[in-house]
């Protein structure tokens, strides 16, 4: 049922696939799709159970399953090669895809990726509870969005009614709310030795972007990742929280475009991807 995925698309050129974080959607890339699409073909899917993609498209919400289904989506869209741009959970998925298919994904942009995550963020941890967790999931809604944004954003003035409404799409129906609970319960953080092994297989150019005021994944994790990805360039953004692409979109867009200009300079000589 791959065609049932919601994917926002814009532009022409080498494909960029933008992968959002837990509880978010393609809405989180609203300030990036337009500017990036002037140079690239940009695709921003809603993961199953998020935004406008139904949760029924996947049998479970393990990282390996989401990675496999994303790959099937890219096959359906005819993308033989693409750059992966991932925030938080989307960064984890990008790393898994890049390890399994290094030639298909020649470069990575990771914005506060959930790679060295030791536990699920406290905002979602009550969803683990056997009975109360189900009840809490059923009650997820705009109040959850407001609370989550206050945790994610450093600049609280950016939490406008329009932004809350944009994120609230994920929580409009009960199936999505229960899917978020399943995802939280099935997303078990990897032990650090397994993460180190994964990073040891990443040889592509990597751009790491992190907000210095990130309260969900502290910015010192950027140094930890760079020690294991020596080819990575790191950009720490002051007065920015867990979603750099939303709090500092102009800077993030400039960083991505400059990084890709260097990393993809040989792609013009390679066969073009197919398009549908």
Nearest to 248 by CA among 239, 261, 259: 239
pLDDT, averaged across the chain: 88
The residue with greater pLDDT, 185 or 276, is 185
Pairing of strands 15-19, 7-10: unpaired
* Over residues 76-88, mean pLDDT: 97
* Over residues 91-108, mean pLDDT: 96
Q: What is the pLDDT of residue 189?
A: 72
Starting at the edge strand found earlier in the chain, the sheet holding 7-10 runs 7-10, 41-45, 15-19, 83-87, 108-111, 206-211, 233-237
Quote the CA–CA distance of 227 and 111 in Å, as a whole number.
17
Residue 191: band (very low, low, confident or very high) from pLDDT cuts 50, 70, 90:
confident
Residue 3: band (very low, low, confident or very high) from pLDDT cuts 50, 70, 90:
low
Residue 138: band (very low, low, confident or very high) from pLDDT cuts 50, 70, 90:
low
Report whether pLDDT(271) > 90.
Answer: no
* Residue 219 Rama label (left phi>0; alpha psi -120 to 50; beta): alpha
Domains in the chain, start-ordered, CATH in brackets? 2-119+188-269 (3.40.50.1820)
Question: The pTM is what?
Answer: 0.90
pLDDT tens string 14-41: 999 999 999 899 999 999 999 999 999 9
* Over residues 43-54, mean pLDDT: 96
* Over residues 248-253, mean pLDDT: 98
pLDDT tens string 193-240: 888 999 999 999 999 999 999 999 999 999 999 999 999 999 999 999
For residues 67 and 45, the answer to whether their CB atoms sit within 8 Å is no
* Over residues 163-168, mean pLDDT: 94
* Over residues 89-103, mean pLDDT: 96
Report whether pLDDT(173) > 90.
Answer: no
Residue 107: band (very low, low, confident or very high) from pLDDT cuts 50, 70, 90:
very high
For residues 146 and 159, the answer to whether their CB atoms sit within 8 Å is yes
Residue 1: band (very low, low, confident or very high) from pLDDT cuts 50, 70, 90:
very low
């Amino acid at each position: 049922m791959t065609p049932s995925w919601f994917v926002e698309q814009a532009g022409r050129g080498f494909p960029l696939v933008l992968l959002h974080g837990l509880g978010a959607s393609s809405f989180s890339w609203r300030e990036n799709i337009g500017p990036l699409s002037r140079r690239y073909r940009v695709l921003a899917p809603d993961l199953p159970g998020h935004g406008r993609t139904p949760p029924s498209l996947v049998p479970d919400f393990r990282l390996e399953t989401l990675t496999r289904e994303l790959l099937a989506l890219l096959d359906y869209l005819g993308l033989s090669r693409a750059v992966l741009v991932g925030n938080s959970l989307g960064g984890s998925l990008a790393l898994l895809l890049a390890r399994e298919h290094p030639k298909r994904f020649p470069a990575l942009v990771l914005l506060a990726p959930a790679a060295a995550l030791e536990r699920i963020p406290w905002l979602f941890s009550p969803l683990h509870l056997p009975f109360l967790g189900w009840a809490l999931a059923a009650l997820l809604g705009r109040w959850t969005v407001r609370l989550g944004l206050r945790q994610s954003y450093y600049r609280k003035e950016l939490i406008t009614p329009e932004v809350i409404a944009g994120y609230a799409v994920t929580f409009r129906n009960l199936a999505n709310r229960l899917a978020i609970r399943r995802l939280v319960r099935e997303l078990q953080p990897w032990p650090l030795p397994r993460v180190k092994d994964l990073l040891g297989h990443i040889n592509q150019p990597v751009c790491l972007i992190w907000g210095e005021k990130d309260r969900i994944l502290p910015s010192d994790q950027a140094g930890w990742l760079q020690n294991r990805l020596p080819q990575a360039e790191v950009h720490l953004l002051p007065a920015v929280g867990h979603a750099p692409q939303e709090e500092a979109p102009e800077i993030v867009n400039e960083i991505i475009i400059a990084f890709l200009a260097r990393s993809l300079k040989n792609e013009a000589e390679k066969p073009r991807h197919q398009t549908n």
